[in-house]
Structure 1
């Protein structure tokens, strides 16, 4: 059994590696993201394809087996909201943090939007949907 400390260290190392990679391949620049989203630049596609390859190898090395099951009820609406937010803001929730770290302060509006969105999701879930607790992100 893996210890919590080892898992935390692995998460920190992979998070730092991801942040470094994302900031150095242009994912923090809205114009770059626009070119990648419109397939004028294939870096995003190749990056995600590479990430899938890496995680497949990691799962094989760690002997992690996932049994495909029923899709959670929140996946499709969550994916639509996530994609809409990404298209409007020019990045997933990690990108505005990278933009703020790089000195682009207007990204703070997106960070606030992410926090407000999570709180609204939790409120709507508790009031109307009653999905499991982890369905609203942070």
Structure 2
């Protein structure tokens, strides 16, 4: 059995490797993301597509079977909000952290927006929707 320290160290190393890779391929650059979302440059879009193809192949080789579970009414509006926020801010929840670490301090506004959005989601879920616990992220 792995100790907590070993798991933490593995997560830190993996996170640093991911951050390094994502930064070097341009995912932390707002201009690159803007070009992807406006279809001016398909390089990053193709990188996403390549990642999906790779994981599908790995899952097929390992015979991983996923049960997607139920899809509730919040999935479509949530996906639209997520995509809109990503297009406006230039980052999904992980990218602004990479941008801040790279010295792009305006990304702190995006990080704050992610935190506020998660808090609002939890509040609205507890008060109105009563969906499963993991539906609001972090």
Contact 1:37-1:44 within 8 A present in 2 as well: no
RMSD: 2.4
Match of 1:118 in 2: 118
Q: How many residues align?
A: 137
Which of 81-90 and 113-122 deviates more?
81-90
TM-score scaled by length of structure 2: 0.84
TM-score scaled by length of structure 1: 0.84
Query: Does residue 87 in structure 1 map to residue 87 in structure 2?
Result: yes
User: Per-residue deviation at 1:60?
Assistant: 2.1
Which of 14-23 and 95-104 deviates more?
14-23
Match of 1:24 in 2: 24
List alignment gaps of at least 5 residues for structure 2. Answer: none
Q: Distance in 2 between matches of 1:133 and 1:111?
A: 22
Secondary structure of residue in 2 paired with 1:92: coil
Secondary structure of residue in 1 paired with 2:27: coil
Q: Distance in 2 between matches of 1:18 and 1:72?
A: 31
List alignment gaps of at least 5 residues for structure 1. Answer: none
Match of 1:48 in 2: 48
Match of 2:134 in 1: 134
User: Per-residue deviation at 1:68?
Assistant: 5.2
Which of 43-52 and 116-125 deviates more?
43-52
Query: Does residue 57 in structure 1 map to residue 57 in structure 2?
Result: yes
